[in-house]
């Protein structure tokens, strides 16, 4: 069984009620995040753990989001 739902409601549904989730979001950043949550959990957790929480890191990520071309590299 599969449902089309907003991404913020996916995980509770996935754990209890559905066997497949299809993410269709216009914002590719959100799609990539949820894809990583569902399909690359260990790698995502490692990135979260290893990424320094600094203003430099924040500025770098802000730049990447504003300049979508950089997201593909």
Q: Locate the domains of the chain by residue range.
A: 2-72
pTM greater than 0.85 (yes/no): no
Cα–Cα distance, 19 to 29 (Å, whole number): 24
Cα–Cα distance, 26 to 29 (Å, whole number): 9
CA atoms within 13 A on the CB side of 40: 11
Q: What number is the average pLDDT over the span 48-70? A: 86
Tell me the pLDDT tens digit for each residue of 4-38. Answer: 445 555 555 566 676 776 767 677 788 888 888 88
* DSSP 3-state of 3: strand
């Amino acid at each position: 069984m599969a449902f089309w739902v907003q991404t913020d409601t996916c995980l509770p549904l996935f754990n209890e009620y559905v066997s497949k989730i299809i993410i269709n979001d216009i914002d590719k950043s959100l799609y990539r995040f949820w894809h990583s949550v569902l399909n690359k959990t260990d790698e995502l957790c490692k990135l979260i753990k290893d990424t320094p929480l600094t203003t430099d890191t924040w500025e770098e990520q802000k730049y990447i989001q504003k300049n979508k071309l950089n997201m593909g590299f």
